[in-house]
Chains A and B, each alone.
Chain A
Amino acid sequence: MTTKFTKDHEWVRVEGDTATVGITKHAAEQLGDVVFVELPDVGNSFTQGDDMAVVESVKAASDVYAPVSGEIIEGNGSIVDAPETVNDGPEEGGWFVKMKLSNPSELDELMDEAAYKEHAANS
């Protein structure tokens, strides 16, 4: 199981051909209190970099981009019902969607945890 990160502050955790996607702890802290989440429908497909979900905090609305290409196989209903779950555990219970990877080689372009930490500290 590997976790990769995008420069736009999404994380993606891969098990087999399934990827769990969310926003990073750094992103959640920057957003502040999350008050609304809009997730894509199961069955929709996205290309890496597409607008995939929306997260709104008390401050602003932000798009969440697809960190990799693939089809949505599950959405995390608990963050829709209780958006604060994203702040409580952005990299655990606050995950956004699970995707079936269509191009696993895209993972190679993403950052590992150490590289992301450095990126986040400078962004």
Chain B
Amino acid sequence: MSGMGMTSEDSRGRKAGRARCLWETRVSDLKQLPLDGLHRELGGKMVPFAGYDMPVQYPMGVKEEHLWTREKAGLFDVSHMGQAVLSVEGGSHEDVAALIEEIVPGEIRKLGHGRIRYTLLMADDGGVLDDLMITRLPKEVGHAGDLVLVVNAACKDADYAYIEKQLGGRATLSVKDRCLLALQGPKAHEVIAELDPEASTMPFMSARVTQLAGANVMLSRCGYTGEDGYEISVANKDADALARKLLAHDDVAPIGLGARDSLRLEAGLCLYGHDMTPETSPVGANLTFALGKRRREEGGFAGAERVLRELNNGCGEIRVGIKPSGRAPAREGTEVKLEDGTTIGRVTSGGFGPTVGGPVAMGYVQRQHAEEGGTVHLDIRGKLHPAEIVRLPFIEPRYYRGPSK
């Protein structure tokens, strides 16, 4: 059979084209995570991803890790992601926000202290260079104007270079060599509250600077799974002890990249480089929620011309959820067709959703075929399989919306 091991050619020298995995990348000059030793100790199966040697799964296995995260709390090491601080010497929040707003379309100026915004790094032609989280530091931290950026691992060097090029001389970008842990799932708030009681009532998309088990951390209530949870930015030297402290809790298990991918896919969240590329616009990617209301009216960000035009006129193809009607998963690259065989789009992420209990996918289809409830056909190994255009996400997100009344 094909796809055993990491090579893309099987022993007969044939291309094993179907055995694509998201984590198959070049195996050279791999960087190690600060917690590499812990992952190996936990039995993590290490694979190359975005230039890092990363745990793709632990002995529990991808499916069980996925389900564990939806039921309890999963600990992810996402230290490969880029963390950087953007600041202006002696500048106010308005000063820094006005600068970053030149290259992101989100409402950053009105971002409150300790609040987080999901936004997009834009190229001049309206393509998306990356998606990122921007946090305005909590009031108690000082550094009034500083913004914390968290960007994708695979894009981080290019992102930093682009930000320098666009804003260099006017703002300073300092890259932080820190670990980033994510604790995700319905039990995450109970686990964190044992270490920081105030954490359980933090609003979704907010951050606070606090101590967890003696380590100074920035704790953000956000994530990439569709569940309630936190991301914890912690100094490399403190990360191992903190991770072990969290893992010691009965409800916490380590979760690898495999389950991270199926969790985010069920949650309808994009993976940059797959569901978005430099050719994708925010409108095509169906991420117009990330465009601030004022920004849509005023423009004034890289690529605004295309984005505002597409907001008014629509764009050729749009990202949608695709639910295969049968059991065959449709992987990335699967062509979306009409019953007569005409190609109308392609799958950009697809696989098996353990919580859904069947195949799930997302991809781009021509606008006139993007209506929810419409039937399309997926060309899987030369056979057309029916599927339905569905609203994303595939699961009901359980983000924390405040104390229950």
Please give the residue numbers on chain A whose beta carbons come within 8 Å of chain B beta carbons, in ascending order.
7-10, 23, 27, 30-33, 35-36, 38, 49, 54-65, 123
**Among the listed A9, A38, A49, A54, which residue makes an inter-chain contact with B4, where contact means beta carbons less than 8 Å apart?**
A9
Task: List, in ascending order, chain A residues with CB within 8 A of B5's CB.
Answer: 30, 123
Total B residues in contact with A, Cβ cutoff 8 Å: 31
A32 touches B1 (CB 8 A): no
B1: which of A23, A58, A59 is its contact (CB, 8 Å)?
A23
Q: Are A59 and B4 closer than 8 Å at their CB atoms? A: no
User: Given the complex of chains A and B, what is the CA–CA distance between A14 and B338 in angstroms?
Assistant: 44
> Do residues B57 and A8 form an inter-chain contact, with CB atoms below 8 A?
no
Q: Indicate if the CB atoms of A36 and B359 lie closer than 8 Å.
A: yes
From the candidates B18, B352, B381, name the one contacting A62 in the complex (CB within 8 A).
B18
The stretch among B157-165, B231-239, B303-311, B327-335 that forms the contact with chain A is: B327-335
Contact B351 A58 (CB under 8 A): yes
Known contacts A36-B329, A38-B328, A61-B18; is A8 also within 8 Å of B10 by CB?
Answer: yes
A43 to chain B, nearest CB (A): 18
**Interface residue? B258 (CB, 8 A):** yes
A-B contact count (CB 8 A): 87
B381 proximity list for chain A (CB < 8 A): 38, 54
Interface check B19, CB cutoff 8 A: yes
A62 / chain B contacts, CB cutoff of 8 Å: 1-4, 16, 18-19
Q: Look across to chain A and name the residue whose beta carbon is closest to the beta carbon of B56.
A: A59
Q: Smallest CB-CB separation from A83: which chain B residue? A: B327
Q: List 5 A-B contacts (CB under 8 A).
A: A36-B359, A49-B12, A56-B352, A59-B62, A60-B20
**B residues touching A (Cβ–Cβ < 8 Å)?**
1-5, 10-12, 16, 18-21, 56-57, 61-64, 66, 258, 262, 327-329, 331, 351-352, 354, 359, 381
Q: Are B1 and A27 in contact (CB under 8 A)?
A: yes
Given contacts A36-B359, A61-B331, contact A55 B1 (CB under 8 A): yes
Q: Write the nearest CB–CB distance from A1 to chain B, whole angstroms.
A: 23
Q: Which 5 A-B pairs have the closest CB atoms?
A: A62-B3, A35-B352, A33-B63, A58-B62, A63-B2
Query: Are B2 and A8 neighbours in the complex by a CB distance under 8 Å?
Result: yes
User: B18 to A63, Cβ gap below 8 A?
Assistant: yes
Q: Which residues of A lie under 8 Å from residue B351 when comparing CB positions?
A: 58
CB atoms of A33 and B1 under 8 A apart: no
Q: How far is A2 from B16 in the complex, measured between Cα atoms in Å?
A: 29
Question: Could you tell me if B258 and A58 are in contact, using CB atoms closer than 8 angstroms?
Answer: yes
Task: Name the one of B3, B11, B262, B327 contacting A36, with C-beta atoms under 8 angstroms.
Answer: B327
Q: Are B19 and A60 in touch, CB under 8 angstroms?
A: yes
Tell me the bound Cα distance from A60 to B333 in angstroms: 13
How far in angstroms is the closest Cβ of chain A from B273?
A: 17
Q: How far is the CA of A9 from the CA of B10 in the complex (A)?
A: 11
Seed contacts A10-B1, A33-B63, A62-B3; 20 additional CB < 8 Å A-B pairs: A8-B4, A23-B1, A27-B4, A32-B57, A32-B62, A35-B327, A36-B328, A38-B328, A54-B381, A58-B352, A59-B62, A60-B20, A61-B3, A61-B18, A62-B2, A62-B4, A63-B19, A64-B1, A65-B1, A123-B4
- Chain B residues near A38: list those with CB within 8 A: 328, 381
Residues in A whose Cβ lies below 8 Å from that of B262: 58
Is B258 a contact partner of A59 (Cβ separation < 8 A)? yes
CA distance A8 to B11 in the complex (A): 7
Contacting residues, chain A, for B258 (C-beta < 8 A): 32, 58-59
Write out the residue numbers on chain B whose beta carbons fall within 8 Å of the beta carbon of A31: 3
- With a cutoff of 8 Å between Cβ atoms, the chain A residues found around residue B62 in the complex are 32-33, 57-59
- Chain A residues lying within 8 Å of B354, measured Cβ to Cβ, are 58
The chain B residue sitting closest to A87, CB to CB, is B61
- Given known A8-B11, A32-B57, A36-B359, contact A60–B3 (CB-CB < 8 A): yes
Residue of A nearest to B57 (CB): A32
Measured CB to CB, the closest approach of chain B to A21, in angstroms, equals: 11
Point out the residues of chain B lying under 8 angstroms from A54, CB to CB: 18, 381
Contact assessment for B1 and A35 in the assembled complex, using a CB-CB cutoff below 8 Å: no
B1 surroundings in chain A (CB, below 8 A): 8-10, 23, 27, 55, 62-65
Please tell me if the beta carbons of A35 and B329 are within 8 angstroms of each other in the complex: yes
State in angstroms the CA–CA spacing of A3 and B359 once bound together.
34
Residue of B nearest to A64 (CB): B1
Find chain A residues with CB under 8 A from B4 CB: 8-9, 27, 30, 62, 123
